[in-house]
């Protein structure tokens, strides 16, 4: 296995695993040459992502998006050192569109292709140049908080991930989206809920803190979601009074921040057992954009002498910079993927094929 070789050129990355169509080009040293994200607003009217519509929208959006980032980067496909695409986990239609598109470019121009695990892309974002002083060397603890995933992962090396805990019901972003829906905030509701919570009183409604103080570092959000539903259903049908909605939003967000920090504290203990030298907690996923969650996680990290790294907001949610970066890291290790690599809806980070040969 080649170790850390500098690549002969830039890498193109594509993201299409859910409802963001994204493309990015990174230079061989990982600096960002161009990036673009198209968030598919078409799903808002359905209150959730419709997989078939998402796949068609990726197909419609990708060619122009790729042309745009290549143009912005001032590159031809022949200048590239490789093409990477999210190839799972996610919605299979979108994964097929993105990975087939990337394979097409790779075949046409004789380039290596990398089938990127979307979770690995979130996990490695902290290692992008300029994100963390010193470049986030392995090992570190990752808290992945997104709409589809909620897990604590010991990131011990490229391809070496140990899942310490996960959600036993809803993902945290899913809980944000469902509560936002109850409050009439549209979809996806996480950012809108955070804005509303800023004007609310978090102490007005007593909401549960699921699993707080329990051993282990699994998460649970369905009880909290149900508790919010009970509060909301005590009101007459129709929009909630503005201040009441704000107080519920603030109470919910505060409960999530507390629970997440408690689970992170347990995960840090488990992580230290495995990796006594590790000293960094990294957050990723769309919910990592939430300032209340960030603040409580920063505190949990500091209490154990850990540094805390959160990517800039645009790199927290789904994006192609992280996909290109994961592709770049794998190419540096001489680990491209075969062109017949099949995208897959489920692809855990600790799957045997994640480990480098
Ligand atoms: O990582 P992501 O872009 O997509 C995946 O789910 O993989 O995460 C999207 C999720 C959505 O549930 C969205 O509501 C949530 O992240 N989110 C937030 C915030 N920004 C995005 N939740 C709470 N506060 C935010 N500021
Ligand atoms: Zn994601």
At 29 the pLDDT is 96
How many Cα atoms within 13 Å fall on the side-chain side of residue 316?
Answer: 25
Is the overall model pTM greater than 0.85, yes or no? yes
Helix (H, G, I), strand (E, B) or coil at 185: coil
**Largest Cα–Cα distance of the chain, in whole Å?**
65
At 107 the pLDDT is 98
The span from the CA of 186 to the CA of 183, in Å, is: 8
In which band, very low, low, confident or very high, does the pLDDT at 139 lie, cut at 50, 70 and 90? very high
**CB 81 within 8 Å of CB 112:** yes
**Average pLDDT, rounded, for the chain:** 96
What's the CA-to-centroid distance between 338 and ligand 1, angstroms?
32
**Residue 301 corresponds to which tokens in the numbers above?**
């990290």
Q: How does DSSP classify residue 188?
A: S
Query: Which strand ranges, in their side-by-side order, compose the sheet holding 140-145?
Result: 160-166, 150-157, 140-145, 280-284, 307-309
Residues 6+ apart with CB under 8 A from 24: 12, 13, 32, 34, 35, 36, 69, 319, 320, 321, 323, 324
How many Cα atoms within 13 Å fall on the side-chain side of residue 232?
Answer: 24
% helix / strand / coil in the chain, to the nearest 5? 45, 15, 40
The span from the CA of 277 to the CA of 39, in Å, is: 39
Model confidence pLDDT, tens digit, residues 279-319: 999 999 999 999 999 999 999 999 999 999 999 999 999 99
At 27 the pLDDT is 98
What's the CA-to-centroid distance between 177 and ligand 1, angstroms?
8
Locate the ligand 1 atom nearest the alpha carbon of residue 285 and give its number: 1
Model confidence pLDDT, tens digit, residues 70-84: 999 999 999 999 999
Locate the ligand 1 atom nearest the alpha carbon of residue 284 and give its number: 1
Model confidence pLDDT, tens digit, residues 12-69: 999 999 999 999 999 999 999 999 999 888 888 888 889 999 999 999 999 999 999 9
What's the CA-to-centroid distance between 190 and ligand 1, angstroms?
6
């Amino acid at each position: 296995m080649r170790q850390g070789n500098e690549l002969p050129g830039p890498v193109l990355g594509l993201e299409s695993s859910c409802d963001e169509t994204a493309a990015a080009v990174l230079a061989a040293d990982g600096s960002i040459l161009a990036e673009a994200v198209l968030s598919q607003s078409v799903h808002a009217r359905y209150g959730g992502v419709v997989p078939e519509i998402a796949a068609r929208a990726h197909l419609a959006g990708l060619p122009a998006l790729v042309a745009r980032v290549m143009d912005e980067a001032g590159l031809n496909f022949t200048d590239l050192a490789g093409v990477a695409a999210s190839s799972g986990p996610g919605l299979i239609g979108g994964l097929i569109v993105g990975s087939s598109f990337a394979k097409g470019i790779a075949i046409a121009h004789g380039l290596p292709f990398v089938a990127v695990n979307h979770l690995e892309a979130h996990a490695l974002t902290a290692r992008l140049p300029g994100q963390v002083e010193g470049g986030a060397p392995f090992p570190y603890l990752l808290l992945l908080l997104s709409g589809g995933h909620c897990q604590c992962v010991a990131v011990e090396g490229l391809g070496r991930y140990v899942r310490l805990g996960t959600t036993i019901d809803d993902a945290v972003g899913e809980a944000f989206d469902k509560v936002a829906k109850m409050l009439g905030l549209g979809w996806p509701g996480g950012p809108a809920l955070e804005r509303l919570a800023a004007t609310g009183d978090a102490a007005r409604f007593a909401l549960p803190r699921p699993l707080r103080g329990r051993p282990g570092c699994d998460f649970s959000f369905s009880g909290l979601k149900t508790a919010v539903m009970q509060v909301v259903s005590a009101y007459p049908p129709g929009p909630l009074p503005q201040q009441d909605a704000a107080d519920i939003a603030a109470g919910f967000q505060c409960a999530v921040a507390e629970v997440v920090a408690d689970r992170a504290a347990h995960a840090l203990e488990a992580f230290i057992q495995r990796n006594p030298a590790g000293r960094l907690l990294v957050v990723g996923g769309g919910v990592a954009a939430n300032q209340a969650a960030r603040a409580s996680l920063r505190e949990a990290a500091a209490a154990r002498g850990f540094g805390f790294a959160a990517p800039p907001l645009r790199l927290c949610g789904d994006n192609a910079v992280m996909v290109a970066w994961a592709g770049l890291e794998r190419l540096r290790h001489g680990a491209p993927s075969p062109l017949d690599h099949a995208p897959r809806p489920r692809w855990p980070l600790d799957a045997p094929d994640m480990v480098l040969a």
